[in-house]
Amino acid sequence: MPIILEPTDLSIQRAAEAMRAGRAVAFPTETVYGLGALTHDPRGIAEVYRMKWRPSNNPLIAHVLDAHGAREIVEGWDPRCDELTSRLWPGPLTLVLPRRANVPVEAAGGRATIAVRSPSCPVARRLLQELGGESISAPSANRSGHVSPTLASHVAEDFASELDLMILNGGRSEFGLESTVLDLTTARPTLLRPGTVTLESLRQILGDVDAPELMEQGASPGTAPRHYAPRTPAVLVPINGMRAALALEPRPCAVLCFDPSHVPSPHTDITMPRDARLYASILYDALRSADTLGCARILIEMPPSADGLWRAVVDRLRRATA
């Protein structure tokens, strides 16, 4: 198994040293755990793609300390970024901007743009500081297409065969869903991936924001129809429809629903919170637990809303069940 390290000053130094030597390291963020390497080191970037089995055209998010760090890797500076970054950074908002020519194209999946965000998680920030503010490119620390990790143990499970991988332990990720991705290189700002920073809050700052239904992997690979998926086949069930759906299931199922009384034996109930923020923070852990039960299917009750933070939850549920 990989090595899980408590985030002491010494382990942060070791992690930074490994990155400077061209290796990938896993670390916590407030969204999900990341598998990171120095943005400017193609050796480390290659390691990230190899370990994740990630297609080389799926770009990475660059993590920086602040807007100053972002300006080192983007070309020009869109004036809208000032307000966005002063209000929402550090935090779970990723901006897609023109890539500066000195950023290796491998770190951007071959694109002329680069996605950048500033994490608020203290362990991630200490690692960035230890690296003198150099940018870390990091996708989620899971095998490609699998459920994202929100605990250090999730990372260790996905990369069990990577004996030398260092994982900094930051406990449970605060938000538990990948960042909101906003493209500022299009004619109008475009929401590529909903997240904890809601569409509504972006519209308050920017006015118009396009929010196309992206179920195809073109504009942004995180929009592939099947992604964030457990290994057991999973299906979405309409709100309050669980009893009826389970009546048709001959074999034991794992069930994520709001009311445990809707789940008779032999099915296994995993009760989900009705609060969107709490729901988001435990969703991936619940999907991973459901996967370990050896059930024929995972049934997931549709959330009560598709607005605000629920938009991001529903987006991930649709991809997990596609």
Token pair in block for residue 180: 């909101």
Q: Which does 114 bind (CB under 5 to 8 A by kind): ligand AMP, Mg ion, none?
A: ligand AMP
Q: Which does 115 bind (CB under 5 to 8 A by kind): Mg ion, ligand AMP, none?
A: ligand AMP
C-alpha–C-alpha distance, residues 279 and 270, integer Å: 12
Q: Which does 220 bind (CB under 5 to 8 A by kind): ligand AMP, Mg ion, none?
A: ligand AMP
The DSSP result for 108-121, as a single string, is: GTT-SEEEEE----
Q: State which residue, 285 or 301, has the beta carbon closest to ligand AMP.
A: 285
Q: State which residue, 30 or 269, has the beta carbon closest to ligand AMP.
A: 30
Closest CA to 313 of 234, 302, 215: 302
* Chain residues that interact with ligand AMP, rule: CB under 6 A: 58-59, 61, 96, 108, 111, 113-115, 139-140, 178, 181, 192-193, 220-222
- Minimum distance of Mg ion from residue 148's CB (angstroms): 6
Q: State which residue, 29 or 140, has the beta carbon closest to Mg ion.
A: 140
Token pair in block for residue 5: 């390290």
Q: State which residue, 159 or 262, has the beta carbon closest to Mg ion.
A: 159
Q: State which residue, 34 or 301, has the beta carbon closest to Mg ion.
A: 34
Grouping H, G, I as helix, E, B as strand and the rest as coil, residue 15 is helix
| Location of structure tokens 């950023």 | 103
- Minimum distance of ligand AMP from residue 32's CB (angstroms): 7
- Minimum distance of Mg ion from residue 18's CB (angstroms): 21
Closest CA to 176 of 81, 253, 272, 97: 272
* Chain residues that interact with Mg ion, rule: CB under 5 A: 139-140
Q: Which does 107 bind (CB under 5 to 8 A by kind): Mg ion, ligand AMP, none?
A: none
- Minimum distance of ligand AMP from residue 34's CB (angstroms): 7
User: H helices within the chain, ranges in order?
Assistant: 9-20, 42-52, 67-71, 80-88, 122-130, 152-158, 199-206, 242-247, 276-292, 309-320
- Minimum distance of Mg ion from residue 222's CB (angstroms): 6
Ramachandran sector of residue 186 (left: φ over 0; alpha: ψ -120 to 50; beta: rest): beta
